[in-house]
Structure 1
Amino acid sequence: MRKISIIGSAGTLGSACAMTISLTNAADELCLIDVNEALLNNHIMDLENAFPGKNIYRGEYEDLIGSSVVIITAGVPNRNDETSRDAYLADNLRIFQTIGEKAASYAPDAIIITASNPVDILNYYLYKKFGFSRNQLIGYNLNDSYRFEWAIRKVLPAEPFSSNFYTPVIGEHGETQVPLFSKVQKNGTPYTFTAKQKDEINKEINTWFVRFNSLNVPRTTGWTTGVGILRVVRAVLDEEETSFIGSSVLDGEYQQHDISIGVPITVNKKGILKVQEWELDSDEQSAFEKSAAKIRTTLLTHMAHS
């Protein structure tokens, strides 16, 4: 039985993930957990009508038992006035104290996918505090790669929508993320950018979060996350190996230890099988090291108090 549980399922991220998973045969059982009981019941009544043949129900933490995958989307609401995902760290660490305890108690062998922000810190917190192995823990950051492709298409509008782009982004899920221009492919072929194009694409990426929040709408990127989480869920429920970018706890890879950061990973139903160590351009390597240093500084500042 492929049982998937979503903690924080009444919010924008969790409900979007519940919808995209329900649209497929990825789960035999979908357990939805949230402290907002009325809103969660509202979503479940709606999902039951949309998918009357599926096993979708409201659960409590005890119902995590038997989960193959636990998706964590719980966190404080989007406040719109923030310029960094780190602004949510202190509040979300308190929430993750409870979530980590319950997940470790009731689903100690499940693969944990964390989408709450700041994802790199929270993914590492689960590893450091609650005894999960690093191959169990995947921090979700595929939105960065989707946004990289969006920026490329915006700067280069002549590109046909039928083109298939590969657009990996590594590093922090935040301001120091590293779009890998050297690894971009179009229809399986390396794609070359001019310096001006790179600058324009980076500008689109680096200003996106602030522009999104400036709309002053109290929701986060539900649809994008729902699409990406489904991709990750399918990969970790499959016997076959699949590769994508995810935040993983490193133990020497890329010369980094004791942090979680976005890197190329290979997964299957056993979790993270390996971290792929790509050769990076010198500027990309430097940017990745700066991104890792920023995460490490945040960890040193906050983990001692948690």
Structure 2
Amino acid sequence: MSENNHFKNGNGRCKMATIDKLFTPVQSKSDDTGNKVTVVGVGQVGMAAVFSMLTQGVTNNIAMVDVMADKLKGEMMDLQHGSAFMRNAKIQASTDYAISAGSRICVVTAGVRQREGESRLDLVQRNTDVLKHIIPPLVKYSPDAIFVIASNPVDILTYVTWKLSGLPKHRVIGSGTNLDSARFRYLLSEKLGIATTSCHGYIIGEHGDTSVPVWSGVNIAGVRLSDLNPKIGSDSDPENWKETHEAVVKSAYEVIRLKGYTSWAIGLSLSQLARAILTNAMSVHAVSTYIKGEHGVEEEVFLSLPCVLGRAGVCDVIRQPLTAAEAGQLRTSASLMDKVQAGINF
């Protein structure tokens, strides 16, 4: 699907008289850009991630993998036709995982959707069965890659990927609450009337209903809102800031109700994480990582905490000061994940 039909000479060019007359070969060319990213799954989320990475200049070397050959080829061609508007992007696609060889990052967005009446555990098992066909070949062709998981439920599937891959924990990352934190900052900015980028706050724990807003750390220019309003985010807060977090939890459901799926925000989130890894940025992001031993968590689970990301994946987990209530909520989330994971058939 990604190969040119013309025979190529030693310089990586198609062999024909016109080209031989046009160029004087100096040395052979390499296709390795050093920033290859493979995205598995060309649904709404996968394509939003690909489009964000290409148009933001995060990478100019993308490989896409999916089982739907026609859609895969169509998405590839559509992007290739726009290559004049991008930074000399190399865009490949195939149903064969060999196309992913040599990737620096493997982003997994593939998975099945929850059926009506289906339990969370059933969905986890079905997506675990999907990952059994995805993770081993990715590891085979890109054994040194960082794995970024976006498939839901993302925290449990990040744990599943860690188990299936045999990779060290710092190289398996879930997109986690990076998006939840972005939604939180946006809603805070709307309430305060300042830029989203000037609002600082994190959602930690599960990417889902048991996520934890760290109200104790929310600040503007270093001014903690909890110092101005000690009851902020609590049930007794007269200003009802708690509704901001409630809106974060509900926002995905609302977007899905309105347009059928979420795509752009998670695509931009994945692009940000890829940039941090490829550029060795050492920037802090709320991503799903192995948190046993953090904040009193005793289970082997992956949940989101602020992490320093670089070329090696997760370089540090920030020792974020939490109130007793916040730490308790995180441990409750960890216990829930552990119970679901206990029923997974590997």
Do Structure 1 and Structure 2 share a fold, with TM-score over 0.5? yes
- Match of 1:204? 247
- Match of 2:338? 296
- Match of 2:284? 243
CA drift of 1:84 comes to 8.8
The change in CA–CA distance for 1:163 and 1:84 in structure 2 (over 3 A counts) is: farther
The change in CA–CA distance for 1:162 and 1:97 in structure 2 (over 3 A counts) is: closer
Does structure 1 retain, via aligned residues, the 8 Å contact 2:295–2:327? no
Instruction: Report the AA paired with residue 232 of structure 1.
Output: L
Structure 1 portions without partners, runs of 5+? none
CA drift of 1:153 comes to 4.0
Does structure 1 retain, via aligned residues, the 8 Å contact 2:296–2:331? no
Render the CA deviation track for 1:110-152: whole Å, top value 9, x for unaligned.
Answer: 0000000011111111112320110101100211111212333
Instruction: Report the AA paired with residue 181 of structure 1.
Output: W
Instruction: Give the secondary-structure state (helix, strand or coil) at the position aligned to 1:166.
Output: coil
Residue 95 (structure 2) pairs with residue 62 (structure 1): no
CA drift of 1:87 comes to 6.5
Distance in 2 between the 1:55 and 1:238 partners?
Answer: 19
Distance in 2 between the 1:286 and 1:251 partners?
Answer: 14
- Match of 2:223? 189
Does structure 2 retain, via aligned residues, the 8 Å contact 1:85–1:174? no
Instruction: Give the secondary-structure state (helix, strand or coil) at the position aligned to 1:253.
Output: coil
- Match of 1:24? 56
| Pairing partner for 2:159 from 99, 108, 124 | 124
- Match of 2:11? none
CA drift of 1:86 comes to 6.3
| Pairing partner for 2:325 from 272, 277, 283 | 283
Residue 59 (structure 2) pairs with residue 47 (structure 1): no
The change in CA–CA distance for 1:49 and 1:189 in structure 2 (over 3 A counts) is: farther
Residue 125 (structure 2) pairs with residue 90 (structure 1): yes
The change in CA–CA distance for 1:277 and 1:39 in structure 2 (over 3 A counts) is: same
Residue 181 (structure 2) pairs with residue 145 (structure 1): yes
Instruction: Give the secondary-structure state (helix, strand or coil) at the position aligned to 1:243.
Output: strand
Whose strand fraction is larger, Structure 1's or Structure 2's? 1
Residue 193 (structure 2) pairs with residue 159 (structure 1): yes
Instruction: Report the AA paired with residue 245 of structure 2.
Output: N
Distance in 2 between the 1:286 and 1:22 partners?
Answer: 41
Distance in 1 between the 2:328 and 2:289 partners?
Answer: 19
Number of equivalences: 298
- Match of 1:107? 142
Larger Rg: 2
Instruction: Give the secondary-structure state (helix, strand or coil) at the position aligned to 2:139.
Output: helix
Q: Which has the higher contact order (CA 8 A, sep 6+)?
A: 1
The change in CA–CA distance for 1:172 and 1:83 in structure 2 (over 3 A counts) is: farther
| Pairing partner for 1:36 from 45, 51, 68 | 68
Instruction: Report the AA paired with residue 149 of structure 2.
Output: T
CA drift of 1:209 comes to 3.8
Instruction: Give the secondary-structure state (helix, strand or coil) at the position aligned to 1:258.
Output: coil
CA drift of 1:78 comes to 6.7
CA drift of 1:160 comes to 3.0
Instruction: Give the secondary-structure state (helix, strand or coil) at the position aligned to 2:291.
Output: strand
- Match of 1:263? 305
CA drift of 1:278 comes to 1.2
Instruction: Report the AA paired with residue 234 of structure 1.
Output: R
Distance in 2 between the 1:36 and 1:77 partners?
Answer: 16
The change in CA–CA distance for 1:77 and 1:300 in structure 2 (over 3 A counts) is: closer
Q: What is the root-mean-square deviation of aligned Cα atoms in Å?
A: 2.2
- Match of 1:5? 38
Does structure 2 retain, via aligned residues, the 8 Å contact 1:84–1:175? no
Instruction: Give the secondary-structure state (helix, strand or coil) at the position aligned to 1:176.
Output: coil
Equivalent pairs: percent with the same residue? 25
